[in-house]
Chains A and B, each alone.
Chain A
């Protein structure tokens, strides 16, 4: 039996031009309305107990689609049928009251997610335990850090026993250990028969939780199908978009970005944290970046990649997004660090590219090609990789 059935749905937004709010003045000045189709002709269904991922860049229509499924807005065209009670992590922490205690806020959040007050009170110990906040539930919420609020909000929304759980991009926040607990809990819910719809940018989360995926691009369902296949095509499409502005074969340092955060210094360090310009194969190194955030930036993505200096062959390409790591809020000056346990590269010169992207990859803050060059002194090879090896004959 299908919990969600979407049949050729489309969504049109109409807003006064120029970002104005609707008012008599807008009417009097005859500010026209702008039409924007956020979704076109999207159809799919989700069976009971199935979990579906929504992938796509910002503005691709994921949030609109989740709102339509949640019933908080209505599709302009097409038919939508959703069965069962819906709980959503769509607006995390909205409606929380900093002056009231965490306990009172948790009860309100549970009631808003569909429990009666009595049910909410019964589940409270479970919720507090999951959020690891049992000792501080009587404290006012204003004393909580963002991470604690998030844990509380997440704990509530997964403990209301929803038949259909909608999650919008929130798993990326919180520390890694709690993230892992959330993922495990979602797996349990899924296995117990909860239907899950998850909008996320993080391929590893999607592949772990969801059997099927929908890739939305400009409001259209580009691909619907097996997660691994859809995720691969989605990630491929990003890669093309990402490398497109790269200078073709240029050896000079190039920078790109809005510079909301600037990378002001970059160092390559050895095991003893000493700056180095040459390393031996198999040794561990660290890349350290000093940044200066001219304005606060939420959770940017840090990218570090290396290629050979001679012919630009990529050796590795790491970023915090695919690793599911949250950089957090950057404000003022600070330092970021990537540690590589070992670097099994062949003898030769290499270049590092580093960059900070906005949390949804939509724009680079500061991306520097060939920001740093270094040398590997070791085995000569025609290929960049020189794995540790031993020959033998018998």
Chain B
């Protein structure tokens, strides 16, 4: 790709370009540092990153195939897909909500772009998800097999990142002014795991409650993930595009709130 042509489109001035490159570098460095902190000192680093999702996988597979059989084909893969991507969503939304309070030190740095703070938070929580991907691929090769549709995975992940950032930007702003926001978010996520088809199929929802799934972008994302990974089919492009636009819209809306509120955050912290 012609780098200079692209940068000319993206940035009006050299200063903007420098600022953007710096921000990317900063975010990458801070996420890398969190990664080191989390796993370097633990003896089995990655093993611990996987321990929680694998434990969840084991217990829910037992419950939903033996105790209350749901009759879903390839249930472990189906479930693990749900656990991995819901896990990223829930962890990232929770930590992004409190990121301004937790990372006050970053907001007090003159050169650090304020928007970088929630982005670092959301990406840091992606570490566990990325650590689980190889395991997910092993499950897939074992069970239904890897198909070409897996190429859509990065696009779905990007859409999920936009969704997380949008919610994170907005909730983080709210949390600065009302410290209860974090508690409300925790409860909402606790309920959300049951209102999103993480363990079961959305078809299991009775018709009159189906709207809960339909209006929930995270539920739609999970359905798309499963189409791509478990069924090995390409989702219909129309609804996928709409979902992408919804995620982008949520991200833009959340950012607008954050951009308005964040210049005076440090006064409240």
Contacts and interface: CB of A to CB of B under 8 A. Distances in A.
Interface stretch (B67-75, B92-100, B106-114): B106-114
A86 B37 contact: no
Please classify the interface of chain B as helix (H, G, I), strand (E, B), loop, or mixed, using the class held by over half of its residues: helix
B105 interface: yes
A94 B107 CA distance: 11
Interface in A83-137: 85-88, 90-91, 94-95, 97, 99-100, 104, 107-108, 111-114, 116-117
B180 A91 contact: no
B22 interface: yes
A71 B264 CA distance: 10
B263 A73 contact: yes
Nearest to B177: A22
Contacts of A112: 26, 106, 109, 111-112
A72 to B, nearest CB: 5
A107 B180 CA distance: 35
A13 B37 contact: no
A21 interface: yes
Contact of A116 (B25, B266, B267): B25
Contact of A99 (B37, B110, B263): B37
A120 to B, nearest CB: 9
Interface in B18-69: 21-22, 25-26, 28-30, 33, 36-37, 41
Contacts, number: 82
Contact of A85 (B25, B29, B37, B111): B111
B25 A111 contact: yes
Contacts of B109: 72, 88, 91, 95, 112-113
B178 interface: yes
A260 interface: no
A166 interface: yes
B35 to A, nearest CB: 12
Contacts of A107: 29
By size class, the interface of chain B is 20 to 34
Contact of A67 (B103, B176, B266): B266
B74 to A, nearest CB: 41
Contacts of A48: none
Contact of A104 (B33, B103, B105, B267): B33
Nearest to A120: B29
Nearest to B25: A116
B178 A27 contact: yes
Contact of B111 (A23, A87, A95): A87
A1 interface: no
A246 to B, nearest CB: 39
Given A90-B110, A166-B110, A74 B177 contact: no
B179 interface: yes
A100 B30 CA distance: 13
25 contacts: A22-B176, A22-B177, A22-B268, A23-B178, A23-B179, A27-B178, A67-B266, A70-B110, A72-B108, A73-B263, A86-B110, A87-B110, A88-B109, A91-B105, A94-B105, A94-B108, A100-B37, A104-B33, A107-B29, A111-B29, A112-B26, A112-B106, A113-B109, A114-B22, A117-B25
